Amino acid sequence: MVDIKALYELQLLDTEISEQESALADVRARLTDESEVRKARERLRRLEVQFEEVSGERRSVQVSVDQFSEKLKGVETRLYGGNITNPRELGAYEVERDMVQRQLSGEEDKLLELMVQFEDLQGNRDKARSTSERLESERTENVKDWTLEEGRLVSELEVQYGVRGRMTPDIPPAALSTYEMLSKARDGYAVAMIERGACQGCRISLPTSVEQQARISDAIVQCSSCHRILYVD
């Protein structure tokens, strides 16, 4: 004799267990997944490296600008100081002045570009640091909640596994084997109720004789369409 109601109740329990196992797997995946935090850290690291490189280059170019400025000042002092009267020598200083001015102008252009890069990188770096710190803080709090949730789910599953372990010995092995085979094949939905003359598993109308057989039979009666075990409440 097979108690179809017991199989139906086992299915309800297995559905709860499956949902809890999925929830537990999801929590554990979140506990181990640090990809978002790692991406934020890596972005911050790259920006910090770029910022330091541009900072160093800017300091170097600033030194060059200062040197050319001093050199130009010296050349102009000699050129316009009134101490040089030789046209040839004055011409040489004018050539040197023009050359230094061009060099200074080139370095000043570089410095301007680097200052723009510096400011952009500084802003991006500060934003990246803020984002990284926020994600780190959020994850720390979430990990506390997820750890508690993991513990709760583990405890509930232990209880549910215990209940299942007490239910299955009362079900005939052949019936249990059929149930488990159908459960795997039908995504955990092995037992279907009959409502309004139809199998609720596939929604196919059943012959009246099949519904009657499911009501009174001591054996498993299956839907001819989806092969689920039929149950009448």
Which two three-digit tokens encode residue 52?
């330091």
**CA-CA distance, 73 to 100, in Å (whole number)?**
10
For residues 86 and 100, state if they share a domain. Answer: yes
**CA-CA distance, 207 to 203, in Å (whole number)?**
13
The alpha helices in the chain, defined as continuous H runs, are 4-32, 35-80, 87-167, 173-185, 208-216
Which of 172, 208, 201 is CA-nearest to residue 187?
201
For residues 206 and 122, state if they share a domain. Answer: no
Residue 33 confidence (pLDDT)? 97
pLDDT above 90 for 1: no
* Mean pLDDT, residues 194-222 taken together: 94
**CA-CA distance, 85 to 180, in Å (whole number)?**
110
For residues 54 and 163, state if they share a domain. Answer: yes
Q: What is the pLDDT of residues 16-64, one digit of tens each?
A: 999 999 999 999 999 999 999 999 999 999 999 999 999 999 999 999 9
* Mode of pairing for the β-strands spanning 229-231 and 198-199: unpaired
Residue 78 confidence (pLDDT)? 87
Residue 220 confidence (pLDDT)? 96
Is 21 within the bounds of a domain? no
Residue where a domain terminates, one of 134, 169, 204: 169
Is 104 within the bounds of a domain? yes
CATH number for the domain including 110? 1.10.287.1700
User: What are the residues whose beta carbons fall under 8 Å from the beta carbon of 18, sequence distance 6 or more?
Assistant: 188
Per the structure, the count of domains in the chain is 2
Is 154 within the bounds of a domain? yes
- pLDDT, mean over the chain: 95
For residues 221 and 138, state if they share a domain. Answer: no
Residue where a domain terminates, one of 115, 140, 169: 169
For residues 99 and 193, state if they share a domain. Answer: no
Which of 25, 48, 194, 62 is CA-nearest to residue 121?
48
Q: What is the largest CA-CA distance in the chain?
A: 129
Is 19 within the bounds of a domain? no
Residue 201 banded pLDDT, cuts 50, 70, 90: very high
Residue 86 confidence (pLDDT)? 85
What spatial distance separates the first Cα and last Cα of the chain, rounded to whole Å? 17
**How much is the pTM?**
0.75
Residue where a domain terminates, one of 169, 192, 217: 169
DSSP string, 37-61: HHHHHHHHHHHHHHHHHHHHHHHHH
CB atoms < 10 A from the CB of 34, how many? Answer: 14
For residues 205 and 225, state if they share a domain. Answer: yes
**Proportion of the chain above pLDDT 90, given as a percent:** 90
Is 18 within the bounds of a domain? no
For residues 185 and 152, state if they share a domain. Answer: no
For residues 65 and 132, state if they share a domain. Answer: yes
* Mean pLDDT, residues 109-125 taken together: 97
pLDDT above 90 for 119: yes
Which two three-digit tokens encode residue 148?
């508690």
Residue 104 confidence (pLDDT)? 96
CA atoms within 13 A on the CB side of 127: 6
For residues 194 and 114, state if they share a domain. Answer: no
For residues 122 and 213, state if they share a domain. Answer: no
Its domain, for residue 201, covers 4-10+172-231
Three-state secondary-structure class, residue 143: helix
For residues 82 and 194, state if they share a domain. Answer: no
Q: What is the pLDDT of residues 152-197, one digit of tens each?
A: 999 999 999 999 999 999 999 999 999 999 999 999 999 999 999 9
For residues 59 and 118, state if they share a domain. Answer: yes
